[in-house]
Amino acid sequence: MPLRLEATRDGFSQSFEAFLSERREAAVDVRDDVARIVARVKDEGDAALIELTAKYDRLDLTADSLRVSAAEISAARESCSAEAIAALETARTRIIAYHERQKPEGFDYVDDTGVRLGSVWHAVSAAGLYVPGGTAAYPSSVLMNAVPARVAGVERLVMVVPSPDGVLNPLVLAAADIAGVDEVYRVGGAQAVAALAHGTETIAPVDKIVGPGNAYVAEAKRQVFGVVGIDMIAGPSEILVVSEAGADPEWIAADLLSQAEHDRVAQSILITDDAGFADAVTAAVARQLPELPRHEIARESWEKYGTLIVVADMESALPLIDRIAPEHLELVTPGAEALADTHPQCRCHVPGALCT
């Protein structure tokens, strides 16, 4: 069952600290294994990449079959439903509109001494996009990494995606096509990150690597940082929804489960000022769980790591938000803008529901 904490009860501080200190990912040290993989790909190129793909993804490749062909991508797109393609195209349009507004502007001025100073922004030449392809497929990750790069002006987009037993998700390939990815390679893991960073005979190196992955991918990104830029070293996914009782519990439950279905160690947290609303959201989660395609994973995540925190009022949620520092934050309350002004980390253009 998910954890439930009442901020007004004795012992809350100790319980909250215990909640914060809980580890959700096995403390497995993969540094040495990843270092060996990175070194092999750097030294041996395609040969190491092919051998490691056979070992970890059970897929026999040659240098000629590392890259997913244009015909395969076209066929994958054709196999997707019209509704799915329309959804991806709509998402692409919306992502473009958002990130066009995010582009930084340079400046140029002459100071009091007559010296001219300025700043000019240029996109990197090539970006590598890591897309998970093991336990689940995420076409959204393709769009959210590739489209902003295109908006920024990156000329070459290279995507790597593992294909265990040779299986590639058609929607992932369709998303790559819609986003304008230039090259797609059927490799994953630390070896794919190493290939993007150092290059091989087939894969030319990139300037920056972005995208989520498992512990091996995260460690590989850490080890190649400096050779290339990276976005971040991410841990297990998490979401924190801060909501008053006036919200629809079905919607809040869906948002919580949107992260729970990512991974068995993902975490979904609700903070509310109404105990009855916490009960209603819990009931809504129970109703929705069986309907999810990845219900077993979502259920394990929710039951092991799901958390409900009942506070006295919305203001008292602010220090808890800071302590949790979640990956995804939603404020769902009629006073969201005022709450965001109090808590400057929260910014969004959606009235009544602020997200970071």
pLDDT digits (tens, 9 = 90+) for 189-247: 999 999 999 999 999 999 999 998 888 999 999 999 999 999 988 777 889 999 999 89
Question: Looking up tokens 């979640």, which residue turns up?
Answer: 326
In-domain check, residue 142: yes
Annotated catalytic residues are 327-328
Q: Is residue 109 part of a domain?
A: no
Rounded distance between C-alpha atoms, residue 85 and residue 105, angstroms: 33
pLDDT band with cut points at 50, 70 and 90 for residue 71: very high
What is the average per-residue pLDDT within 4-17? 94
Q: Which of 154, 157, 184 is nearest to 172 (CA)?
A: 184
**Structural domain ending residue among the three candidates 200, 230, 260:** 230
Regarding whether 261 and 210 lie in a shared domain, the answer is no
pLDDT of 135 above 70: no
Same domain assignment for residues 225 and 96:
yes
Whether the predicted pLDDT of 343 surpasses 80 = no
Tell me if 314 is assigned to some domain. yes
**88 and 49 together in one domain:** yes
Return the pLDDT at 338.
73
Q: Are 252 and 189 part of one and the same domain?
A: no
Task: Tally the domains of the chain.
Answer: 2
**Are 76 and 213 in a shared domain?**
yes
Same domain, yes or no, for 20 and 62?
no
Q: How many helices, marked H, and strands, marked E, lie in the chain? A: 14, 13
Tell me if 176 is assigned to some domain.
Answer: yes
- Model confidence at 347, pLDDT cuts 50, 70, 90, reads very low
Domain that holds residue 218: 31-103+118-230
Domain boundary among 230, 265, 282: 230
CA distance 245 to 275: 9
Last residue of a domain, one of 230, 245, 280: 230
- As a whole number, mean pLDDT of residues 285-290 equals 96
Same domain, 200 and 307: no
